[in-house]
Structure 1
Amino acid sequence: MTGLVLCEPTELYNILNQVTKLSRLTEPNYLCLLGIVLGAAIECGRTLTHLTRHPIHILRGGYESFSAMYHFFRTQKIIWMPQELDAFQPYPVEIMPGRIYLGNFRQACDPKIQKDLKIKAHVNISMETGPFFVGDANKLLHIQIEDSLEANITPFLRHLCHFIEVHLELGSVILVFSTMGISRSCAAILAYLMHQNEQTLKRSWAYVKKCKTNMRPNRALVAQLSEWEKVVLGDIVTDILDPLY
C-alpha cells in the first residue's frame, strides 16, 4: 500500500484542531472521503496516490469509530457560509487519548469544551486565573510564571508530574494550558512525558510536535528541560543547540 497511511482517530482529531490565524477546520484545500467499507476506502486511496505527492490517510475504523469518540464534532449541517467556517474554534489537542489535553486559556474558560472532553482537572501555567476549580487544590494546579526568558518552571516539575499521575490513577481527564498554549504548557507536557516514559527530550519533543505543530517553548524553558532530562535519565542526551529546538 505505497502512499497509503492508516490514520488513528486521535491523529485526525489533532489534525483538525491545529490552528494558525484560523482553525484548521476552516481549511478548504483538502478532500475528505467518508465511507463505510474499509476496502472501498483503500481502493479510492490507491487511485488518489497517482494524483498527489503526499500520502493518502485512511481513517482506522472510519467515520463510525471517529464519531463515537468525538461525538461533539458530528453535525447534520451540509452547507456552511465562509463566515461560519471562520468562526470555528479549535479544541485542545490530545496528548494521551481521552486523558490528557493541551490547550490555551480561551479553551480552558469554555464550558462546552470542559463538558465535551469531560475535563476534571486543570494545570494552569499562566498568570491568568480561570473560572473553573478555583480554590480546589485537588483539581487545580496553578503554576504562576510569566511568558518570558526569566520564567523558571524547574521548581514545579516534580509536583506537576505527581499531580498528573494522581489524576490519571483516579481516571480524571486533565487539561494542561497556558495563555496561548504554545510555550509554557508545552514545556510542562514535555517534562511530564520525559518523566513518565523515562525518555529523552528529543523523543518527547517529536511526539508533542506531532500533536501540536505550532508548539514552541521559549529558549529558557528549553534549557530547563535539558536539565530536567539530566534529572530523569542521569545525563543530558538531547543537543538543544540543534535548530529544531
Structure 2
Amino acid sequence: MSQIILCDATELYNILNQYFRVSRLVEFNYLCLIGKGEIRECSYFVMPAGVEIESMRYCVVYDSNTSSLQAMFLRWKCIHSLFHYGYVTLGPATDCTGILAKSSRYPVQILKGGYERFSALYPFFRTQKILYTLKELESMKPYPVEILPGQLYMGDYRQATSPQIHKDLKLQAVVNVSEKTNHFGICEYLDLLSIPNCNYRFCYDSVVIIFRILSCETFHVSGSHFSAGSAILIFSSDGISRCSTVSIAFLQYHLKFTLQEAWEHMLKCKSNMRPKRGFVQQLSDWEVHTLGERKTFIAEPHY
C-alpha cells in the first residue's frame, strides 16, 4: 500500500507546469486531480471512469481547505460509493485515499490548504472546467516553475517575454542567461538583468564562467530583489541547462545550500532540469567558494 502524504500548493503548481515540448498534462498516466463535490451535506470525490490509478505518476486529492491529514479524516463526512453521470464517486475521504493508495505505485497526495489556499496563491489557475480534451491540454502554455514560493521562478525565453505571465506572477525582475538579445515582450516596468558573456556557448571545460557570472553586478542586483521579497524570473532559451545552473548557484549563495541540497530541490521543481557536465564542475567549485569546503560528491551518476 502506498503512502498518503500532504502536497503543498507550490508542489501542485510545479506538477501542473512540467513540460518537455508540450505540457506533461497530455500524458495519460501523469496526473489525476480529484476534487470534492457536495450532495446534501455529504462530501464525495469525483474521478473520471477509466483512469488507471496504478500507473498514475501523481494522484492528488483536494477538498476546500485541508490543513492536515488528521483534520481531513475528522472533517470529511461519509458517503457510500455511487455512480453519477458516468463518473465514479468515492467516499468517505478515508475510503477514497485508502482505495487509491492500495492501487497506486506512488504516494497519494492530499493538497494542503485545499482549493482555497491554492486558488488564493494562483488565482490565474481558477477554472470551472472539469475535463479537458487532449487538444486543449496540448495548447496549454506552462508557467515558469516556482523555485522559492512567490520569489524565485525559472523558465524559458517564451515565458520571460509573456506580459500575462509577468502580471500573474507579479514579477519585478527577469534575469537573462540565454543567447537571445531580442527582448520583445519584456515590459518596461520590469528590471531586465542580463548576465554578461551569455551571448556565446559556455565552454564545458571552463571553470571560470560561473565565477564570472556570479561575481557580476547583475547577480548582486537580482539578490537585492530577492532580499526585498520581490519576484524574480531566471530564464534561458530552453529553460533546462543554463538557467538551472544559475538557479542552483543562487540557492547556494543566498540560502547556503550544498550543491546536493540545491540539486535535489531543483529536481523537485523541474524534473527535466539538467546542467551540462562542465557547469556541474563549476557548481562544485562554487560550493567551495560559498561554504568553504566541498560537500557534494559529483562523481555520482545523477550529477
TM-score (norm 2): 0.74
CA distance in 1: counterparts of 2:94 and 2:253, whole angstroms: 39
Q: Secondary structure of the residue that 1:33 maps to in structure 2?
A: strand
Q: Distance in 2 between matches of 1:170 and 1:232?
A: 21
Q: Does 1:178 align with 2:236?
A: yes
Match of 1:165 among 219, 223, 238: 223
Q: Which moved more, 1:116-125 or 1:165-174?
A: 165-174
Give the distance between the partners of 2:111 and 2:255, measured in 1 at CA: 27
| Number of the residue aligned with 2:123 | 71
Q: Alpha-carbon deviation of 1:33?
A: 1.3
Q: Structure 1 pair 133/74, CA: closer, same or farther in 2 (3 Å)?
A: closer
Q: CA deviation at 1:24?
A: 2.1
Q: Does 1:227 align with 2:285?
A: yes
2:6–2:111 CA contact under 8 A, matched in 1: yes
Quick check: 1:14–1:93 contact (8 Å CA) kept in 2? yes
Helix, strand or coil at the partner of 1:21: coil
Question: How far did residue 2 of structure 1 move?
Answer: 6.3
Runs of 4+ with deviation above 4 angstroms:
none
Which residue identity is paired with 1:90? Answer: P
Find the residue that maps to 2:35 and give its secondary structure.
coil
Structure 2 match to 1:112: 164
Which residue is 1:102 aligned to? 154
Task: For 1:189, give the aligned amino acid.
Answer: S
Contact persistence 2:2–2:102 (CA under 8 A): no
Paired with 2:119 and 2:157, the residues of 1 have a C-alpha distance of: 26
- What does residue 9 of structure 1 align with? 9
Cα deviation digits, residues 97-147 of structure 1 (max 9, x gap): 01110001111011111111111101100121223257x9x8222014234
Match of 2:255 in 1: 197
Q: SS state of the match for residue 242, structure 1?
A: coil
- 1:158/1:46 CA distance change after superposition, 3 Å: farther
Q: TM-score, normalised by structure 1?
A: 0.91
For the pair shown, which has the larger CA radius of gyration, 1 or 2? 2
Q: CA deviation at 1:79?
A: 4.7
Matched, 1:217 2:275: yes
> Amino acid of the residue matched to residue 228 of structure 2?
L
Runs of 5+ consecutive residues of structure 1 not aligned to the other structure: none
1:179-204 Cα offsets, whole Å, 9 max, x none, are 01111110101111111222211111
More strand by share: 2
Q: In the alignment, is the contact (CA less than 8 A) between 1:182 and 1:216 conserved in 2?
A: yes
* 1:142 and 2:219 correspond: no
Structure 2 unaligned segments of length 5 or more: list them. Answer: 37-62, 65-71, 77-92
Name the structure where helix makes up a greater proportion of residues. 1
% identical aligned pairs: 44
Q: Which residue of 2 aligns with 1:122?
A: 174
Residue 90 in structure 1 maps to residue 169 in structure 2: no
C-alpha distance in structure 2 between counterparts of 1:18 and 1:149, whole Å: 28
Note the aligned Cα RMSD (angstroms).
2.1
Cα distance between partner residues in 2 of 1:74 and 1:27: 22
Q: Are the structure 2 counterparts of residues 44 and 78 from structure 1 closer, same or farther at C-alpha, using a change threshold of 3 Å?
A: closer
Q: How many residues align?
A: 243
Quote the Cα distance in structure 2 between the aligned partners of 1:153 and 1:199: 16
